[in-house]
Structure formats: C-alpha cells, structure tokens
C-alpha cells in the first residue's frame, strides 16, 4: 500500500446554524479544504454522515455533494457508522488512496441536527443503540453513558468532580478555538450545579446538539509536495473495531474493548506505541467517555483515567494534551462530522497552525472516534 498524506483541511464553526442547510455545510467545508490544499481536481469523494434522512429528510448525500460542488461524474460514497461516521469515512478515503484506486480524495463529515425538535433528535440518536433491547425500553445515550459512569465510579472510586474536570479542561481549550460552538470557560462548581440529565451526568458533562461539517484532502505522500503548498501530514496508522451494540451484552461496563482493539491495530500499523503520542483528540460525547478512552488507547493506566484531568496530565500544557480543540464537549458534536473535525485539529497541531492552543513541538497525534456506547471505534495516527 502507498503512504497517504493529508494536504488540506477545512471546517466551519460548529453551532446551531439555522441559516445554513446540510448542503451548505458540506459545500463550505469542502471548498475550505480544497483552498487549503490548493488542488485543482478531486478524483473521488467520501461523505460521513449518521442520519441525514432523519434529521433533514435528505438521503443520497454523496450525490448531492458531488452535484453541488460541480464535481460530477466523480465517484461519491456515503459512509454511516453512527457517531463514528466521519472517522470511518476518513478510513475509507485513506484506503482508496493507499490502494491506488484514487489519487486525490475529498473526505467530508457533516450533520445538521437542529432542524428537528429535541425529542426527535434524541430519538434519532438512539437509532445508534440496539432498538429492540435498549431504545424500545427507553434507554437514551445519556442514560447508557450514565450507567458506564456509575459503574466506573463504583469500581475505581472516581467522583463527579473528577468527571467535571474533563468538561472544565475542554471548555478552556474550546475558548481558544474560533471554530468551537462554546467558547467560554466553566468551573467544576458550575458543572456540578448544572441540571442532572442522568445520574451522575449533569448537562455540562454532555456534548451539545450541533450543526457542522469538516473536510480533508488526501493524496499519496510521494506526490504531496507537488500537489499542495501545505506541509503534508502522513496518516501512518489506522485501526477499526466493533463490539456488541447493546451495553447490557458486555461483561464489564467500565471497559470499551472496541477502542482498545482499534488503537492496538493503529499502533501496530504505524509502528508506534501510546507513549509516542504528543497530542490526542478523543471522543468525549460525555465526560466519562474521555476517561474511558484514555485508558483504552493506553495513554493512562486502567483505573487512572479520572485522575488525569484534575492532575493536569491532559491539559494544554500537560504531558499529553487531550482534546485541544475543545473536544465534542466544547467544540460541538455534529455526529457525522466529528471524526473529520478531530483530524482537522490534529493536522493543524502537527503543522504548527493551532494558534493559542498550539502544543509545542507536536509531531505525532492520534484521533479516536466511536459510535454508540463503544459499539464501533476507529483510531488514526498522524505524523508531521
């Protein structure tokens, strides 16, 4: 297989974008990535989106984007893997380039979530759970994640204040990101006083409903210097894994094996280990998920994840900065866009273009994007 590089990235600010359609989001992010790369053609495009049919009544999104960009008749594909749709779309685009099927691939992640009511949004997101044995019984993702949090707290003695510290850290990072949905700092006290959504998770432990899109341009590493004016960032490893979709079927609620396995596969492909990672974007749809992901990818020891944020280990100036973009918690979580937005942040970091949130000397980064309560997980490793 050929080595693959990211030579362009684009993203618009996440938020409640009432004035923009799903088409607008996809097109704007795509054009931003194309301009960033400076390329004049695209050979193929891949779109990651979880539920455009339910959120906006628009299916055939890949064709819509190719048409709206004036790129027909390029092959265009849509990828769906719940909240991991963007990350899996990136993997699909990587495989096209690595295999030699395409030279220049546009990868887009997008979701427009605010065109439906809150109730309809919750029901749509619940389609990523087991419909017969979880959603039908009233389980929502805040509820399922709260079960994980409660089990973790009971097993390892973690506290609500430690969970809140994750949100505080990520909001501090998001305050430095002009593309983040929420650009304000919060305190542990504010998190603990916010509305309880599903005990022990407060509303400020949860990522918001968001609209947004992000995009990347991929090409063979050997051609990157000729095709683009930007310094290429190589994707040196990728790992993908699945687990039982239903939480009740797992033997241990505090474990997310799909994350562990996807990380192991990515590290093996890259010839790297967790201690090599200098900056990471982890899937923090809920604060407990960042804590679990830290352990599953190997950044901290089992049972030590809740202590990382309070101790400053994952802070912007800490030993291993995590979610420098603000994460899903502060940057926002348009579910299909998240995996590509994570790549956008890591590429900026490795280029040295992250501004006030720049991690000094960052050369190797990691993204981890998952669907459901860890039913699927994809990990990418990037190198400057």
CA distances from 101 to 96, 123, 239 (A): 5, 38, 20
Find, among 35, 240, 18, the residue nearest to 116 by Cα: 18
Full DSSP string of 211-224: EEEEEEEEEEHHHH
Other beta carbons less than 10 A from residue 70's beta carbon: 7
Report the candidate in 159, 352, 378 with the shortest Cα–Cα distance to residue 256.
Answer: 378
User: 178 and 13 in contact (C-beta within 8 Å)?
Assistant: yes
- Out of 26, 49, 83, 292, the active site residue is 83
Closest CA to 116 of 168, 71, 70, 54: 54
Which of 171, 202, 283, 333 does the annotation list as catalytic?
333
Using CA atoms, how far apart are residues 290 and 97, in angstroms rounded to an integer?
31
Active site residue 83: yes
Beta strands in 74-149, from DSSP E residues, in sequence order:
76-79, 105-112
Assess whether 380 carries a catalytic annotation. Answer: no
Angle (nearest 5°) at CA 347 between 376 and 89: 35
Catalytic residues: 83, 333
């Amino acid at each position: 297989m050929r080595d693959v590089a990211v030579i362009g990235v684009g993203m618009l600010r996440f938020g409640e974008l009432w004035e923009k359609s799903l088409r607008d989001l996809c097109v704007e992010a795509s054009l931003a990535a194309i301009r960033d790369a400076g390329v004049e053609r695209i050979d193929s495009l891949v779109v990651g989106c979880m539920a455009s049919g339910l959120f906006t009544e628009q299916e055939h999104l890949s064709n819509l984007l190719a048409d709206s960009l004036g790129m027909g008749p390029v092959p265009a594909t849509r990828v769906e893997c719940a909240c991991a749709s963007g990350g899996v779309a990136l993997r699909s685009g990587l495989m096209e380039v690595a295999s030699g099927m395409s030279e220049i691939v546009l990868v887009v992640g997008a979701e427009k979530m605010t065109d439906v009511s809150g109730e309809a949004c919750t029901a749509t997101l619940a389609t990523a759970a087991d419909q017969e044995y979880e959603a039908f019984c009233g389980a929502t993702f805040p509820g399922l994640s709260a079960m994980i949090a409660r089990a973790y707290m009971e097993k390892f003695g973690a506290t609500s204040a430690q969970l809140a510290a994750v949100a505080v850290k990520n909001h501090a990072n998001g305050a430095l990101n002009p593309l983040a949905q929420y650009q304000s700092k919060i305190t542990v006290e504010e998190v603990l006083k916010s509305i309880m959504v599903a005990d022990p998770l407060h509303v400020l432990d949860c990522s918001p409903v968001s609209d947004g899109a992000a995009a990347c341009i991929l090409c063979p590493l050997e051609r990157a210097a000729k095709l683009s004016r930007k310094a290429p960032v190589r994707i040196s490893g990728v790992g993908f894994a699945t687990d039982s979709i239903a939480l009740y079927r797992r033997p241990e609620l505090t474990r997310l094996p799909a994350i562990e396995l996807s990380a192991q596969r990515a590290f093996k492909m890259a010839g790297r280990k967790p201690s090599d990672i200098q900056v990471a974007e982890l899937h923090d749809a809920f604060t407990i998920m960042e804590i679990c992901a830290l352990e599953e990818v190997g950044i901290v020891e089992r049972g030590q994840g809740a202590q990382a944020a309070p101790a400053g280990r994952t802070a912007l100036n800490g030993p291993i900065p995590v979610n420098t973009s603000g994460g899903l918690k502060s940057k926002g979580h348009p579910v299909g866009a998240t995996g590509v937005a994570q790549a956008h942040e890591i590429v900026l970091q490795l280029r040295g273009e992250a501004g006030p949130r720049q991690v000094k000397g960052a050369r190797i980064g990691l993204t981890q994007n998952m669907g459901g309560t860890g039913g699927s997980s994809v990990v990418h490793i990037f190198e400057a």
